[in-house]
A and B are shown apart, each in its own frame.
Chain A
Amino acid sequence: MANMLSVRNLRIGATVYPPGEAPKDIEIVHGVSFDLERGKVLGLIGESGAGKSTIGLSALAYGRGGVRITGGEVLLDGEDLLKADKKGIRQIRGARVCYVAQSAAAAFNPAHKLGDQVIEATLEHGLMTREEARARALYLFNILGLPDPDNFGDRYPHQVSGGQLQRAMTAMALCSNPELIVFDEPTTALDVTTQIDVLAAIKNAIEETDTAALYITHDLAVVAQISDDIMVLRNGETVEYGPVQQIIEAPQEDYTKALISVRQTKQREARDQSQALLSVNNVSASYGNGFKVLHDISLHVPRGQTLAVVGESGSGKSTLARVITGLLPPTDGSITFADEDLPAQHKKRTRDQMRRIQLIYQMADTAMNPRQTVGQIIGRSLTFYFGLRGRKKKERVQELLDEIEMGSGFYDRYPAELSGGQKQRVAIARALAAEPELILCDEPTSALDPLVAEGILDLLMRLQAETKVSYLFITHDIAIVRAIADSVAVMLQGRLVDFGPRSSVLSPPFDDYTDLLLKSVPEMELGWLEKVLATRRMESAGN
């Protein structure tokens, strides 16, 4: 069968604007080639900066920002897109090749109805009459499982949820009956329980309409469910390219193996619950506008151990951390730390109480003052809590830098000069400098690439073994919970649905929501999606 899309030796360049320097041209994709047959799905996978989105957009002959295609061929049915003129490219975009963006919320125009936007390209290219296009949209809304498909098109983007928007965007791409759709991380911004529905809807729609697709993601487990072939990319180069089964079950390259094994992080033996260091007693909390975000939460963090708080966005898990730090005083309930009551407001706490509880943020970028050096960032805690100055302070900072496996050469660097993982390490060192008994970790690894994230988790575990520090670890990722938690708290819409030792929470009998959460996490296993969907169908039939 002839290849519908053939990419040959694709090179992509960009102009970058480093602060304080003249703009310069760099190459971000260095000669990538692949083929795609009609009706097949190719998964492009890689970490941030791998060039996967850029490659995907080249199938529409499009470069974002200062990005431009500098060499190679993009052949659509044998015709080179890069040689087509403006008009030729326009006739392809939206008609033969369509695009589904990561953030559908931003990609839909807020001023128009969803239905009009879905059929716009089809009408523009004169592919159908308005009635035909409407009927097609209705059909697509149906197979994508959108609620009230008859009236869905009359709604505006802000009137529907994120998961529905993502499905509407898929409908928009499918409407003109294209030969190829480029999916650019379509489920990344969604919660895990929503992701599975959207994923199933996309998969179903692709099969129903027999469209080929490029599926771009950083999550190998997701792409394994939907692709026929997989290409692993790193720094703009192909690492490995082959059928999905070979990549998942018999990877050849070390990098691919690492990507696969990171998902199956070694499980640490959960320890028996020790005595409570921090207790949260019947805490409720509201925002200033009276909106209640926490309902009667009671849990405790065992001394020297890890409590994982897991939940989706809006579950109140980060708010819980704000309440514990005293940034958001609870409306009800109390917090006990090392057998004494903590004042509700951080301003009323003593310096020593503050020292003993430290916080690590999700975004290390914004958690560190960009105008301070690594030495100043870590050193301030030493001066502030222990009065260390001059040489003593410097020596202690060096020790801490060694602890986090970064050399002393970083002392005078600014955060902007560090990589994402290094920044998070510095943030850990800053927390460690206070010699705390409890560190609240607010999704410290979710903004990082998987391999880097694994390094951070290993570091945290080693530090716990050495210093006996306790963690309250907030995450949405069950895999992390399995890897590091001694006890687990599951939250849903501001309520605690399950709390206890890991062994009891993560093994049957499950709480309903915990069960859903567990089953929604994609696993590195072919056919996992079908299996889950089949179970779901059986359960709903049984009910």
Chain B
Amino acid sequence: MNTVMEDGKPRRRPLKQRYPLTVLILQRLGLSAGLLLAVSILIFGGVEALPGDFAQTYLGQSATPQAIANIRSQLGLERPVTTRYFEWLGNAVQGDFGKSWASGNSVSEQIGKRLGNSLFLAFCAAIISVPLAVGLGMLAVHFRNRVPDRIINIISLAAISLPEFFIGYLLILFFSVKFGVASFPATVYDGMSFADRLSAIALPTITLVFVVLAHMMRMTRAAIISVMSSAYMETAELKGLGAFKTIIRHAAPNAIAPIVNVVALNLAYLVVGVVVVEVVFVYPGMGQYMVDAVTVRDMPVVQACGLIFAAVYILLNMVADLIAIVANPKLRHPR
């Protein structure tokens, strides 16, 4: 962020006019970096500022003052906050999140595998739900205010109201317990074949898709409607273009940015959904790791997971914004 500001500020106006795209992209990158830094402060500092003493928590109410003092020095808590923050951040950047209070194991080692598992699950859910949401959104727009649109509306309204765990257990009850066609719990381990892995995460993926789909579809519909009601769509129709060409040539290029935006907004549901779904399906991912850590107040793990979740979310949002920026013809072709 600083480099952009220092470098860009004195010559900002001409630069912005000549290379609006580059400048905006740099600004957006800088913003994400700044946001990440601020989030790390929030997660570390917030935990520090809140009432309650780590050591007290660590040992429980019955601890003697001497034991507390020992533990404090053992964890390095007597040093100034800023020193510990920069140490924590410096290590975190290098991928070292310290040792778990509960198990004494390296946090990074645990997270390494689990992050991969979580991302795999989220990726599978995203790759199914995004095209499906866009497709259904288009369908709803096509049958706007007619029966299919109403049905899609009611179903999606119901779907956004269902808690993830309810969908999850419903699926388990039917597909694992009653029909026995899917596996539960969703265990994955090293050396598992890719096909086995996919079948293990089938139910969690369906649950996630269901949760994300409804939100995304409702917003896609609104975004498409706003593009479809533009004056240039009328122009295309009055040129005698067929419906298909009208959509491909005139709606699609302008719909990319708003739809990418919708997808980005709904990534929040994906990130939150992953946590709950992992707990429901006893899936060895980051979410479950974090929830377990919160229950036993294992602070290094909580901080590490919080930072990583936030970072993933911020980065995904940034990518979405960058796509939207690049898709904007006004920025690609400055005056």
Contacts and interface: CB of A to CB of B under 8 A. Distances in A.
Given A124-B245, A158-B335, A107 B240 contact: no
Nearest to A106: B231
Contacts of A101: 231, 234-235
Contacts of A91: 240
A120 interface: yes
The B interface, classified by DSSP as helix, strand, loop or mixed, is: helix
A392 interface: no
A121 B232 contact: no
A74 B253 CA distance: 35
Contacts of B333: 156, 158-159
B329 A93 contact: no
Contact of A64 (B234, B249, B250): B234
Contacts of A110: 232, 254, 329-330
A261 interface: no
Contact of B237 (A62, A106, A109, A159): A62
B234 A111 contact: no
Nearest to A121: B239
A108 B235 contact: yes
A111 B238 contact: no
A90 B234 CA distance: 13
Contacts of B329: 110-111, 156, 158
Interface in B308-335: 329-330, 333, 335
Interface in A83-135: 89-95, 98-99, 101, 103, 106-112, 120-121, 124-125
A466 B307 CA distance: 72
A213 interface: no
Given A90-B240, A94-B240, A109 B235 contact: yes
B242 A107 contact: no
A310 interface: no
Most buried by B among A108, A120, A159: A120
Nearest to B241: A124
Contacts of A106: 230-232
Of the four ranges (under 10, 10 to 19, 20 to 34, 35 or more), the interface on chain B belongs to 20 to 34
B230 A124 contact: no
A60 interface: yes
Given A125-B240, A159-B333, A112 B253 contact: yes
B29 interface: no
B47 interface: no
A108 B245 CA distance: 16
Contacts of A92: 240
A93 B239 contact: yes
Contacts of A120: 239, 241, 249
Contacts of A95: 240
B176 to A, nearest CB: 48
Contacts of A64: 234
B241 A94 contact: yes
Given A158-B335, A159-B335, A124 B238 contact: no
Nearest to A110: B329
B236 interface: yes
Nearest to A62: B238
A90 B242 contact: yes
A93 B232 contact: no
A107 B231 contact: yes
A534 B237 CA distance: 39
B179 to A, nearest CB: 47
Given A101-B231, A158-B329, A109 B238 contact: no
B224 to A, nearest CB: 15
A125 B333 CA distance: 29
A108 B238 contact: no
A47 B249 CA distance: 36
Contacts of B235: 99, 101, 107-109
Nearest to B13: A290
Nearest to A99: B238
A67 to B, nearest CB: 12
Given A110-B330, A159-B335, A124 B254 contact: no
Interface in B249-265: 249-250, 253-254
Contact of B240 (A93, A103, A108, A112): A93
Contacts of A121: 239-241
Interface in B213-253: 230-232, 234-242, 245, 249-250, 253
Interface of B: 230-232, 234-242, 245, 249-250, 253-254, 329-330, 333, 335
Given A93-B240, A110-B329, 10 more contacts: A89-B240, A94-B239, A94-B240, A98-B238, A110-B232, A111-B329, A112-B249, A120-B239, A124-B241, A158-B330
22 contacts: A90-B242, A91-B240, A92-B240, A93-B238, A94-B240, A101-B231, A101-B234, A107-B231, A107-B232, A108-B235, A109-B235, A109-B236, A109-B250, A109-B253, A110-B232, A111-B254, A112-B249, A112-B253, A121-B239, A124-B245, A156-B329, A159-B335
